[in-house]
């Protein structure tokens, strides 16, 4: 939540994919919190799951507005499709229809099996209900669970028969295709999800496609495409991006196969540097399968966008194997004779023609495009697919600055590689030789492999960077890397030999270098060199979802609205769960075998009943069996820092108050008798050597301090919540304002709402966190009962100035 708030401050770059990712992560974290609370409480708070579902539903509507599946024919020929039919035929087919019928470029003949057909099929035999039940129980972070759920769902799809009317519609549309082609063509059966190839998410390589399919196998391949929506990597992709599969209706395109001599991908701008003014064409012999799967290194041509007859660069790939059609259906891979493999795939006039076609498509769709094409035996070029190109924008000036920074970095291990996704990432090397190696892939590691198959997308959001020995920037893995902004270098020679497991490296996918060690200065400069704009629509989207995430409505655990039903945001759910978890822990000994004496009383001269619960190394071993401990027996770094502040103040009698302030407390207590009980609460502290949670009630107010201190700056944080008081609301608000001013001064990120204060500091050095805890200790003590004295706004300023002077007693009288 703090990370999301940082983005709202406008200091960091993010996109739609970030919103999908962070909301998905938040949902997973809150689900875990609820699950752990219910384990602790004998499942007394199961209703929180329904609350979470409702909140996520509101967030999902902001992220992915629901569009109804239109009532339309089961099949629609390409000649009748335009872009506006994307909800009926999916993005891929809608784009092809637009290219064929509006732009006027060659597209293979074919038809789409509509999303309406998909919906009718999924609703039959309660198939959709069965799938939802499996997905609702799935933990996508566990590869074994993903595989088991995938196997069950795919079996259900394949075993469920297609509706008779749908079968007839497919047969009729193929017969029409035969008339159009003049022969009985083999076809490509390709996925065309309603959000596939959309600006929101590419779903690149997540769904199956089948090439050179004979007429008799179209129905079977159609079901196989539908079932591929539930492969392990596809399930992981759509759930981790914040989608619900019900929001992803699947259409399928059936198009006549091109007698391909060559094929490949066109990027209308370089994916690794959008500031450059040229197109990038990747080309392989035969079908384009080997290019998009990252199985070979293709020919690469750079073509000027201003003059498409000007070829700026020619790079000949290394293609030993090509993919070709079989006469009766299906495809095969065969070796290419050495002489033929060295010949360029495209002639100069074909390169220029393809570049012109690509620019026409870009101009029509209004953004850089990632275009799949095929060259037939007669030399005609066909467009097979287009989707928005995803790249990490960086200007040449920024690249030059990073190059300067790079000269001061650790030793260079490798100086060669093809940039598939621009950026800089660092971490320990993790070698991946097969899908089995993904099971325990650690977060923040650099994925190093010989090849770049789409299956690796399962862990791509956990990787800090990707390095492969072979592969194409046109591959599915490269597309997903750019979507998730994970730096990637392909075609890095001897990467698996030079980069040994566990070695810490920095991958500079801007200049094409790999350094030994973590180049923090270079990484930080790269992050800072990409300022966002608050005017972008994406910020408005973030604001819209944040209102369901960060506001805290449940502040007083004793309040009548402190119930699951009153949780309106994810913050409310976590706040409620936290308080209930603490209560459950404190009563666990009465309900179970929780060891007696686990809560140890702190012996001190202060008028506070403080009880410590040590979860690990928070108290010296010699006091492990004692019922009471001294401050000197405590090892918890956060607690000691807080305690230093608390004990720095001389605890005296009640502070001077005016008569009206005193009477406001009397009146408030009379109307709320339960407030008198707050003076007798015990104060519990949960500690380890690095962690502390201190919930305390001094007088009539509540405060909670949560902190972690370690040698890793990224883990360090301190959080403070304060609310309540005994006086009337205006006086409580003034005290809250005073606390906020003080904490602002000492570097906290604060939020004030009436008499509720929320403050946080994070990613700071241990010494800084300790200083902030010290200040919190002083603040908690000095501001106790102060609400009774806050009779006007001038008092707030006077107290603040005295605090800044170090006068924590504020004298014996109040300045008027």
Q: What confidence score (pLDDT) does residue 621 get?
A: 83
Structural domains of the chain in order of their starting residue, each with its CATH number: 11-63+538-594 (no CATH), 64-256 (3.30.1490.20), 258-389 (3.30.470.20), 413-518 (3.50.30.10), 607-805 (no CATH)
Per-residue pLDDT tens over the stretch 102-126: 999 999 999 999 999 999 998 887 8
| Least confidently predicted of 596-600, 764-768, 812-816 | 812-816
Position with higher pLDDT, 276 vs 13:
276
- Residue 664 in this model has a pLDDT that exceeds 60: no
pLDDT band at 240 (very low <50, low <70, confident <90, very high): low
pLDDT band at 641 (very low <50, low <70, confident <90, very high): very high
Q: What confidence score (pLDDT) does residue 470 get?
A: 79
Position with higher pLDDT, 51 vs 334:
51
Contacts of 310 (CB under 8 A, 6+ apart): 303, 304
67 phi, psi to nearest 5 deg: -115, 130
- Residue 89 in this model has a pLDDT that exceeds 80: yes
Per-residue pLDDT tens over the stretch 498-533: 999 999 999 998 888 899 998 887 777 666 554 444
Q: What confidence score (pLDDT) does residue 17 get?
A: 63
Rounded CA gap, 408 and 13, in Å? 26
| Least confidently predicted of 106-120, 241-255, 298-312, 747-761 | 241-255
Please tell me what DSSP assigns to residue 183: S
Per-residue pLDDT tens over the stretch 355-375: 999 999 999 998 899 999 999
Q: What is the mean pLDDT of residues 117-138?
A: 86
Q: What confidence score (pLDDT) does residue 38 get?
A: 93
pLDDT band at 748 (very low <50, low <70, confident <90, very high): confident
Position with higher pLDDT, 712 vs 196:
712
Q: What confidence score (pLDDT) does residue 24 get?
A: 85
Q: What confidence score (pLDDT) does residue 501 get?
A: 95
pLDDT band at 681 (very low <50, low <70, confident <90, very high): low
Share of the chain above pLDDT 90, in %: 40
Exposure pattern of 728-744 as b/e (b: 16+ CB <10 Å)? beebbbbbbbbbbbbbe
Share of the chain above pLDDT 70, in %: 80
- Residue 611 in this model has a pLDDT that exceeds 90: no
In the three-class reduction of DSSP (H, G, I as helix; E, B as strand; rest coil), residue 580 is classed as helix
Q: What is the mean pLDDT of residues 237-258?
A: 76
Position with higher pLDDT, 51 vs 142:
51
Rounded to two decimals, what is the model's pTM?
0.51
Q: What confidence score (pLDDT) does residue 680 get?
A: 41
DSSP letter for each residue of 76-107: EEGGG--GGGHHHHHHHHHHHHHIIIII----
Q: What is the mean pLDDT of residues 153-181?
A: 95
Strand ranges in 235-320 using DSSP code E only, listed in sequence order: 250-256, 260-267, 278-285, 299-304, 311-315
Beta bridge partners of 687: 614, 692
pLDDT band at 393 (very low <50, low <70, confident <90, very high): very low
Position with higher pLDDT, 742 vs 753:
742
Rounded CA gap, 408 and 487, in Å? 21
pLDDT band at 12 (very low <50, low <70, confident <90, very high): low
Tokens of residue 125, six digits? 């035999």
Nearest to 577 by CA among 560, 557, 594, 592: 557
| Least confidently predicted of 37-51, 63-77, 266-280, 515-529 | 515-529
Position with higher pLDDT, 402 vs 298:
298
- Residue 652 in this model has a pLDDT that exceeds 60: no
| Least confidently predicted of 149-153, 290-294, 615-619, 769-773 | 290-294
Position with higher pLDDT, 757 vs 683:
757
Q: What confidence score (pLDDT) does residue 244 get?
A: 59
Q: What is the mean pLDDT of residues 628-647?
A: 93
Q: What confidence score (pLDDT) does residue 195 get?
A: 60
Q: What confidence score (pLDDT) does residue 666 get?
A: 40
364 HSE (CA, 13 A, CB side): 21
Q: What confidence score (pLDDT) does residue 422 get?
A: 81
pLDDT band at 141 (very low <50, low <70, confident <90, very high): low
Nearest to 439 by CA among 412, 459, 417: 459
Angle (nearest 5°) at CA 181 between 175 and 183: 75
Q: What confidence score (pLDDT) does residue 697 get?
A: 66
Per-residue pLDDT tens over the stretch 758-801: 888 877 889 999 999 999 999 988 887 776 777 788 888 988 99
Strand ranges in 621-662 using DSSP code E only, listed in sequence order: 628-629
Please tell me what DSSP assigns to residue 384: E
- Residue 347 in this model has a pLDDT that exceeds 50: yes
| Least confidently predicted of 88-92, 226-230, 262-266, 399-403 | 399-403
* Average pLDDT taken over every residue of the chain: 82
- Residue 816 in this model has a pLDDT that exceeds 50: no
């Amino acid at each position: 939540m703090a990370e999301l708030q940082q983005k709202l401050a406008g200091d960091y770059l993010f996109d739609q994919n970030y919103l999908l990712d962070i909301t998905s992560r938040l949902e997973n974290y809150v689900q875990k919190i609820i699950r752990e609370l219910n384990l602790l409480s004998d499942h007394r708070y199961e209703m929180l799951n329904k609350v979470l579902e409702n909140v996520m539903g509101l967030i999902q509507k902001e992220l992915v507005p629901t569009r109804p599946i239109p009532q339309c024919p089961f099949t629609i020929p390409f000649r009748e499709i335009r872009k506006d039919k994307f909800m009926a035929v999916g993005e891929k087919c809608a784009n092809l229809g637009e290219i064929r019928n509006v732009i006027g470029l060659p597209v293979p003949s074919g038809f789409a099996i509509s999303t309406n057909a998909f919906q009718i099929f999924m609703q039959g035999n309660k198939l959709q209900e069965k799938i939802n039940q499996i997905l609702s129980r799935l933990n996508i972070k566990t590869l074994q669970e993903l595989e088991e759920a995938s196997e069950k769902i795919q079996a259900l799809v394949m075993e469920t028969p297609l509706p008779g009317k749908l079968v007839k519609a497919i047969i009729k549309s193929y017969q029409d295709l035969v008339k159009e082609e003049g022969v009985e063509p083999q076809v490509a059966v390709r996925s065309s999800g309603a959000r596939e190839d959309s600006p929101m998410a590419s779903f690149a390589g997540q769904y199956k496609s089948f090439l050179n399919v004979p007429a008799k196998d179209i129905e079977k391949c159609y079901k196989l495409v539908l079932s591929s929506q539930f492969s392990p990597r596809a399930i992981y992709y759509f759930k981790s991006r914040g989608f619900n599969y019900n929001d992803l209706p699947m259409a399928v395109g059936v198009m006549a196969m091109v007698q391909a001599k060559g094929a490949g991908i066109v990027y209308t701008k370089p994916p690794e540097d959008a500031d450059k003014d040229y197109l990038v064409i990747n080309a392989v012999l035969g079908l384009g399968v080997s290019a998009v799967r990252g199985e070979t290194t293709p020919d690469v041509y750079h073509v000027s966008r201003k003059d498409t007859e000007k070829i700026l660069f020619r790079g000949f790939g290394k293609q030993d194997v090509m993919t070709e059609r079989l006469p009766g259906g299906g495809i095969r891979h065969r070796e290419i004779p050495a002489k033929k493999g060295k010949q360029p795939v495209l002639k100069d006039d074909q390169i220029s023609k393809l570049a012109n076609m690509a620019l026409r498509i870009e101009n029509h769709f209004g953004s850089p495009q990632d275009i799949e094409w095929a060259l037939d035996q007669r030399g005609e070029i066909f467009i097979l697919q287009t989707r928005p190109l995803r790249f990490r924008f960086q200007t040449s000036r920024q690249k030059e600055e990073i190059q300067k920074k790079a000269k001061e970095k650790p030793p260079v291990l490798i100086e060669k590689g093809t940039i598939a996704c621009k950026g800089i990432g660092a971490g320990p090397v993790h070698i991946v030789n097969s899908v089995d190696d993904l099971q325990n892939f650690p977060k923040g590691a650099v994925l190093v492999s010989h090849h770049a198959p789409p299956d690796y997308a399962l862990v791509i959001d956990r990787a800090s960077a990707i390095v492969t020995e072979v592969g194409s920037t046109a591959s599915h893995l490269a597309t997903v890397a750019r979507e998730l902004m994970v730096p990637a270098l392909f075609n890095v020679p001897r990467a698996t030999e030079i980069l040994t497991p566990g070695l810490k490296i920095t991958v500079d996918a801007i200049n094409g270098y790999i350094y030994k060690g973590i180049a923090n200065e270079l990484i930080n400069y790269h992050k800072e060199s990409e300022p966002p704009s608050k005017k972008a629509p994406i910020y408005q989207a973030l604001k819209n979802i944040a209102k369901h995430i960060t506001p805290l409505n449940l502040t007083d655990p004793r309040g009548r609205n402190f119930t699951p039903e009153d949780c309106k945001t994810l913050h409310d759910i976590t706040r409620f769960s936290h308080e209930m978890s603490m209560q459950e822990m404190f009563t666990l000994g009465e309900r179970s075998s929780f060891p007696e004496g686990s809560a140890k009383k702190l012996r001190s001269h202060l008028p506070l009943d403080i009880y410590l619960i040590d979860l690990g190394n928070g108290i010296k071993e010699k006091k492990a069996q004692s019922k009471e401990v001294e401050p000197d027996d405590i090892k918890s770094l956060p607690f000691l820092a807080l305690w230093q502040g608390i004990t720095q103040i001389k605890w005296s009698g009640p502070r001077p108050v005016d008569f009206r302030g005193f009477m406001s407390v009397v009146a408030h207590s009379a109307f709320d008798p339960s407030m008198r009980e707050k003076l007798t609460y015990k104060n519990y502290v949960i500690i380890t050597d690095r962690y502390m949670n201190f919930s305390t009630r001094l007088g009539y107010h509540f405060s909670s301090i949560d902190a972690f201190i370690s040698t890793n700056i990224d883990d360090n944080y301190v959080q403070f919540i304060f609310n309540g008081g005994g006086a009337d609301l205006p006086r409580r608000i003034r005290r809250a304002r005073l606390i906020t001013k003080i904490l602002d001064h000492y570097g906290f990120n604060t939020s004030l709402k009436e008499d509720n204060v929320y403050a946080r500091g994070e990613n700071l050095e241990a010494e800084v966190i300790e200083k902030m805890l010290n200040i919190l200790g002083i603040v908690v003590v000095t501001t106790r009962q102060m609400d009774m004295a806050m009779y006007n706004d001038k008092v707030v300023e006077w107290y603040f100035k005295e605090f800044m002077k170090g006068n924590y007693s504020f004298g014996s009288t109040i300045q008027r």
